[in-house]
Structure 1
Amino acid sequence: MLIFQLAVILIASKIAGDISVRLGQPSVLGKLLIGIVLGPTVLGLVTDTEILKEISQIGVILLMFIAGLETDIDEFKRTAKSSTSVGVAGIIAPLALGYVAGITMGLSLFEALFLGLLLSATSVSISVQTLKELGKLKSREGATIMGAAVIDDVLVILALAFLMSFAGGDVNLGLVIAKKLAFFAIVILLSWKVVPWVLRKFAPLQVSESVISAALIICFLFAYFAEYTGVAAIIGSYIAGVAISLTGYKQEITHKVETISYAVFVPVFFTSIGVTAQFSGIVENLWLIAMLSVIAIVSKLVGGAIGAKLTGFPWKNSLAIGAAMISRGEVALIIAAIGLENNLLSDDMFAVLIVVVLVTTIVTPPMMKWLFADKNTQEEQLLMKKNA
């Protein structure tokens, strides 16, 4: 059954991606939408199985690893101030609006704060692919977005731990902070001293593709360590990519990882987002979904844009950066699951927020496409088709 589902996903995602590009949109939009069609909601050809989730997880880890490999570290350093501003402002706006919405809906203090925090989360895995297709991943805006995503993830997780410690959850705030600090201290040291050494040791081995194997080992171990310490796995894989980008093996690894990733794992990740969508009860809660979707989109767009504008970006570029921060993705889904487990979200609210997360994910690519450029050049069109 899995083999059939993989074949269906690969065929459908490539065709849908190509159609999306021909219609002037990033290919990722077509892949997201075709997932809804393939899933239980419409055709039922693909089901949300545990093994499909694992393959999807590998896909997003590899996607962020590629983003790290293609990061210009000098540009990344230059945009540190902008990234911090975008990351912080992109949390404050949705946190405030989400809290007000929660109080208006009759939620308790902690439930309203939790809703605000959930809406503050960002997952730029969708934005990364869109930036690649638009040729903007290595730009100043791209570096700002990636830096802001790391800051956003860390701050939201710390704030969540702080809230849970007061809301009765079994959380040791000091331990949470210590784990985060330990993660960044250790991976920085490993990136500086160990990663180049590992690649040099693997390179002369008399086995096929030893360097790419070493790179994937580093990627997966960094991702695992990040998840173990409470930081999103995608942050770990991104840092692994950045570390390898500073070595002489960057070009070889980038080319081969892209081949592996875009052939199988990344299409499964994009399509599986649509497959997991559940629309039961959507009519009864349509007004709530619409309200929270507007809050989720506007708050990140405006918050991120203000953060970028305060550090010197023109308004259009600032709005484009804000748009790239809109998608909540798997980070918000993880937080929602924590809320459900700790009775900070009802079953109905959990179902509503799943749809809201899907909405933010689907609207992000076309908004970025529109804001990053008035129209694509022929070169950009060719790049989009290549990634379809």
Structure 2
Amino acid sequence: MAFLGTLCLILVLTTLAGNFANRLGVPAVIGELVIGIVIGPAMLNWVQLNSLVSLFSDIGVVILMFLGGLESDLKLLVKYLKPAIIVATSGVVFPVTIMGAVSWWWGFSPLEALFIGVIFSATSVSISVAVLKEYHALSTREGATILGAAVADDIIGVILLSLMISLLASQGIQTTGSQPALGLVLVEQVAFFGGTYLLVKWIAPYLMHLSERLVMASSVTIMSMVICLGMAWLANIVGLSGAIGAFFAGIAVANTPYRNTLADHVEPLGNAVFIPVFFVSVGLNMTLAHLSENVGLIVALTVLACLTKLIGCGLGARLSQFSWTSSTVIGTGMIARGEMGLITAQIGHQAGLMSNTSYSAMILIIILATILAPLFLKPALKRLPVAAKV
């Protein structure tokens, strides 16, 4: 029952912080992220990232991405699939090469440096989705490209992580847990996206129509959550982020007559409980241990973590015929890091590839980049032409 008090504290503080952030003219998520740092191990240590907080956080990001899918335009996503792939590819190449090279120059071994590059190659678009939703920019060509690039980025991240695990094994470094072969992972992911097509085309419309005929309160909303959680679970099984599965579930349900009803029902549920816990959990990951030993490295790699995505993804967007303003929006929308980076860093730490000091520094850099991303995205969105935001 102690968790109820923790949850109450989180909801009160995030509501106040979000209100204060909005009054200052910055995205509300910034206030919620900062609350996680203040009440977490980094400062007051009132709340720790225990299993219940992690569970609510996982549900929060799933609901957030489901809502992102609900508000997305499928035709727009398909239309901008090619530029999304270009953006994702260039946004992976830049961090791997530049951050890897700088890490090697800083004194890390070649394998460690490459691993650091891979850590920062992955994007977590959940934070950007919250900002895009807040400023009604999800159903724009920039928003569609960011979302499509995030999906491609996740797949590339899985491939790079699998290759790094194979490379570690070839060097005699053991990682914890058994890892499936890369070929099997790719086959499973192809099957997942094939199933996603069937879900969007036939399965979701049938299930939603069936749910309306059930004599049960909120049956349509319940069915939508079954689809959402089921797709998140399947995505996780095939090695993708559960957020990606939830996003496609949202797209599938959005192509039914129940789109507006579900947005009205699911959004209050997410924003009232689970989504604030997700944002706070990001801050709870932060620790100031060994900070004084790595200030230079943390500052340098945080700057590079932002610039390599901004420039890499921005150039990819520019190559895809976007304007400089739109390219900046896309680049800033891809800055945030998240679960894939944390997972990769954890594997390197467990394998003994990174010391406790280096591991703490990498986690801190991931969190700093995630916090800075919305601060860059909001002013970039404001520079978009009014017509592009409609």
Q: Residue 200 of structure 2 contacts residue 255 of structure 2 at CA under 8 Å; is this kept in 1?
A: no
Q: Partner of 2:145 in structure 1?
A: 144
Q: Partner of 1:343 in structure 2?
A: 352
Q: Partner of 2:78 in structure 1?
A: 77
Q: Partner of 1:94 in structure 2?
A: 95
Q: Choose which of 253, 262, 276 in structure 1 pairs with 2:262.
A: 253
How far residue 376 of structure 1 moved from its aligned partner, in angstroms, is 12
Matched, 1:194 2:203: yes
TM-score, reference length from structure 2: 0.93
Q: Partner of 2:297 in structure 1?
A: 288
Q: Residue 110 of structure 1 contacts residue 163 of structure 1 at CA under 8 Å; is this kept in 2?
A: no
Q: Residue 285 of structure 2 contacts residue 363 of structure 2 at CA under 8 Å; is this kept in 1?
A: no
How far residue 166 of structure 1 moved from its aligned partner, in angstroms, is 2.7
Structure 2 CA distance for partners of 1:107 and 1:41, relative to 1, 3 Å: closer
Matched, 1:354 2:363: yes
RMSD: 1.7
Distance in 2, matches of 1:339 and 1:44, equals 27
How far residue 320 of structure 1 moved from its aligned partner, in angstroms, is 1.6
Structure 2 CA distance for partners of 1:336 and 1:249, relative to 1, 3 Å: same
Q: Partner of 1:370 in structure 2?
A: 379
TM-score, reference length from structure 1: 0.94
Q: Residue 310 of structure 2 contacts residue 335 of structure 2 at CA under 8 Å; is this kept in 1?
A: yes
Q: Residue 298 of structure 2 contacts residue 365 of structure 2 at CA under 8 Å; is this kept in 1?
A: yes
Q: Residue 316 of structure 1 contacts residue 371 of structure 1 at CA under 8 Å; is this kept in 2?
A: yes
**Identity, % of aligned pairs?**
37
Q: Could you tell me which amino acid in structure 2 is paired with residue 123 of structure 1? A: S
Distance in 2, matches of 1:349 and 1:54, equals 27
Identify unmatched segments of 5+ residues in structure 1.
Answer: 381-388
Distance in 1, matches of 2:42 and 2:164, equals 35
Q: Which one is further off, 364-373 or 34-43?
A: 34-43
Distance in 2, matches of 1:335 and 1:120, equals 10
> 1:127-174 CA distances to partner (integer Å, 9 max, x unpaired)?
001111112111111001000000001011112212322320664222
Q: Residue 86 of structure 2 contacts residue 316 of structure 2 at CA under 8 Å; is this kept in 1?
A: yes
Q: Residue 325 of structure 2 contacts residue 384 of structure 2 at CA under 8 Å; is this kept in 1?
A: no
Distance in 1, matches of 2:101 and 2:45, equals 38
Q: Residue 165 of structure 1 contacts residue 173 of structure 1 at CA under 8 Å; is this kept in 2?
A: no
Distance in 2, matches of 1:368 and 1:108, equals 34
Residue correspondences, number: 378
> 1:32-85 CA distances to partner (integer Å, 9 max, x unpaired)?
111111213222332221111000100000000000011111111121122111
> 1:278-332 CA distances to partner (integer Å, 9 max, x unpaired)?
1111111111111111111110010011011111111122112101101102221
Q: Choose which of 217, 222, 234 in structure 2 pairs with 1:208.
A: 217
Distance in 2, matches of 1:281 and 1:108, equals 20
Matched, 1:3 2:12: no
Distance in 2, matches of 1:335 and 1:216, equals 29
Q: Could you tell me which amino acid in structure 2 is paired with residue 364 of structure 1? A: A
Distance in 1, matches of 2:108 and 2:291, equals 20
Identify unmatched segments of 5+ residues in structure 2.
Answer: 170-174
Q: Partner of 2:172 in structure 1?
A: none
